[in-house]
Amino acid sequence: MFQGADILRDVRRKKPLIHHLTNYVTMNDCAAVTANTGALPVMAEAEEEVEEMVASAGAAVINTGTLTPSRARAARAMGRKAREKGIPVILDPVGAGSTAYRTREIEGILAETRPAVIKGNAAEIGLLAGVEGAVISGIQSLGFAGDPLEAARGLRNHLDYDAVIAVTGPEDVITDGKRAARVFNGHSLLPLVVGSGCMSASVIACFAAVEEDRFLAAAAALAYLGLAAERAAEALQGTAFGPLLFKARLIDELFLITPESFAAGAKVEITAL
């Protein structure tokens, strides 16, 4: 049986603090997503306080959109402290492969902070794994010829420690090297929503803050977000809407989903590798 409902129940009971070092574009959305899931968002970014702030967090997100040198330094300091304290870090390597600077900084953050979960689209994960066939334009994946699970395994082999890799897409694919999960929840409008990728990292962080098995936490989180997308589309059916109204509805569906409706709606398949 899939334990997603229990994880969601735990988030709402424990209300973990989720520290974000994230981009300025989708910050407000990520804070709303975290709060609606049931956790407490904080977005401190000064090098002078990120270590102290993350020390009381249940999990942390590092998102490399709108990166600058001072924010990259803060991300590394925050990530090192989290690692030292055993607090899971979720890395969202936004823009990996788009510029030399971004790619270099992401590799530095990755090596120093050893995130518990690395979450990206197939192009980002493929580029970090050094796999062929990944195309990126700015921060947008323009397609990836290969198999997402192979890209995820490629990135794992590339690392010198154990991490969960989550690849978002029409079907989300998650692996910890021993197991693979496929998440079938979602909606075709989701990739058109600015910030949907960032939002998924926030949800994974909420779940990872209360569930030691990060593989399960990541799979459950992506199912929860995908289910919210399905429910949003249903709620808006018969009305004219685009990605922005869909996003607002989706974020509120996160709030409206109960552990029971999550258990009933999650579509996750887990296999041993």
The binder of its own copies chosen from 248, 259, 265, 270 (CB under 8 A): 248
The binder of its own copies chosen from 24, 85, 108, 112 (CB under 8 A): 24
Stretch 150-179: interaction string toward its own copies, x if CB under 8 A: ------------------------------
Counting DSSP H helices and E strands in the chain, the numbers are 11, 11
Instruction: Give the interface size with its own copies as a residue count (CB under 8 A).
Output: 61
45 binds its own copies (CB under 8 A): yes
184 binds its own copies (CB under 8 A): no
CB of 205 to its own copies, least distance (A): 13
Q: What is the rounded distance in angstroms from the CA atom of residue 247 to the CA atom of residue 255?
A: 13
17: tokens are: 């603090």
Question: DSSP character for 21?
Answer: E
Q: What is the rounded distance in angstroms from the CA atom of residue 244 to the CA atom of residue 257?
A: 20
Q: CA 242 from chain center: how many Å?
A: 23
Query: Residue holding tokens 């998924």?
Result: 200
Inter-residue contact 50 to 87 (CB < 8 Å): no
In angstroms, the Cα distances linking 110 to 3, 12, 106, 140 are 29, 30, 6, 20
126 binds its own copies (CB under 8 A): no
The binder of its own copies chosen from 13, 84, 99, 269 (CB under 8 A): 99
Name the pairing type of β-strands 179-183 and 172-175: antiparallel
The binder of its own copies chosen from 108, 130, 170, 242 (CB under 8 A): 242
31 binds its own copies (CB under 8 A): yes
65 binds its own copies (CB under 8 A): yes
135 binds its own copies (CB under 8 A): no
Query: Residue holding tokens 């997603």?
Result: 4
Return residues touching its own copies (CB under 8 A).
15, 17, 19, 23-29, 31-32, 35-36, 40-46, 48-49, 52-53, 56-57, 65-70, 95, 98-102, 137-140, 192, 194-195, 235, 240-245, 248-249, 251-256
